[in-house]
Structure 1
């Protein structure tokens, strides 16, 4: 662990140097702004944490909270001192915390495919009938460079949200659905939907991915929040079905209504 001290000239925190004369009764360290300990982060906090960009010499920093403890106390209880604020002058060995602070933003910018929407029946279905929808999504892996380090990211689909295009939204929920054999089309499934009106509807699938990352072939670490990615809209045309009963037997009266070649009354 790197211990920081208050620079008497600037009032800023800096890493403790050998031979420092301690006039301050405290020593200091930082924690990432939204870090809860271990590999856990406060996902609500991540939504409004500081943006530490364009620091000295154009270098990005990390959002931190400063903690303090009395000098010379073994295994001290660290307490809040100040922050959150931006740290731009971390030493090279602090690359892991810097990567941890930026990994969520990097994760959300990856070209992760949300998968595709499959409908049964498709592209046409019937009003008032169950239309089965399911997602075709899979785990994806990416290799990126962050702060000069090789970072391997694994994105795994964990939740799905269906917008059926008629104002109905289902999810987020863990089921991606699945295909039905054709002789069972029309059955209700976990992700099926019944349209009350005819027309063309744009069905949009949003897939939530949970990620892990490893730095320079190190152990996999959890990415704190989920990334949400939407699939291209799938058009489904909803038709109506009409059933008519006729009194004529077409064998006896080929000219009867509903017989082949004869117009039907509306």
Structure 2
């Protein structure tokens, strides 16, 4: 058979695959690839940041992905099917050249029990003031099933990018104080 022969490219194959007549029948004994599920489109991940849309030069900004497992229905190999996409990793690409990778979507400082501007596993520090963008990619594992059968894994992963987010970075000077930070460590700016 030709190298590009697959059930979705039947014209390239010596013979067309014949789908089973019973929709509840077991899945065909073919290998389903990421290319075969190209028509199953997962949702773009959301990207939240703390503080919202701005950051302070030389202090961590915290990023939190919004992505979860999702099932997309459609037709696969000529049969009704479901494809489940599950996030397994996250990658934030910053326009200053920084890349942050994590196996978890991150959490807010409050959920982590941390003070604002403390480092997290998904934070990034901008070294200079300016306007930047950050784009989140969710790395997804895919599985498929026919007619309610068990889920079958598809080899490989795919990265789905969210919309770029604008980040304004500036310098910060504490102006209002209630004593120095040694005398009042919970005061503004401490």
Sort the TM-score into its range (normalised by shorter chain): 0.7 to 0.9
2:10 corresponds to 1:59: yes
Q: Does 1:187 align with 2:109?
A: no
Distance 2:131 2:76 in 1: 44
Superposition pairs of residues 1-266 of structure 1, within 5 angstroms: 50-52=3-5, 59-60=10-11, 86-92=13-19, 96-98=28-30, 100-101=31-32, 103-171=33-101, 173-181=102-110, 184-242=115-173
Conserved in 2, the CA contact under 8 Å of 1:95 and 1:147? Answer: no
User: Cα RMSD between the aligned structures?
Assistant: 2.9
Q: Structure 2 CA distance, aligned partners of 1:183 and 1:217?
A: 43
* Cα distance between partner residues in 2 of 1:54 and 1:139: 27
Distance of 2:27 and 2:16 partners within structure 1:
11
What's the offset of the Cα at 1:157? 0.6
Looking at structure 2, the residues matched to 219 and 195 of structure 1 have their Cα atoms a distance apart, in angstroms, of 46
Pick the structure with more helix per residue: 1
Cα deviation digits, residues 67-101 of structure 1 (max 9, x gap): xxxxxxxxxxxxxxxxxxx5534454597134x34
TM-score normalised by L of structure 1:
0.56
Q: Which runs of 5+ in 2 are unaligned?
A: 21-25, 176-190
Change in Cα spacing, 1:118 to 1:92, as seen in structure 2 (3 Å) is closer
Any idea what SS the aligned residue of 1:150 has?
strand
Please give the per-residue CA displacement for 1:87-135, whole angstroms capped at 9, x wherever unaligned. Answer: 534454597134x34x411434432123111110122211011111110
Contact 2:19–2:79 under 8 Å retained in 1: no
Structure 1 residues without counterparts, runs of 5 or longer: 1-11, 13-48, 62-85, 245-266
For 2:116 and 2:3, locate their aligned partners in 1 and report how far apart those are by CA, in whole Å.
Answer: 51
TM-score (norm 2): 0.76
Aligned residues: 168
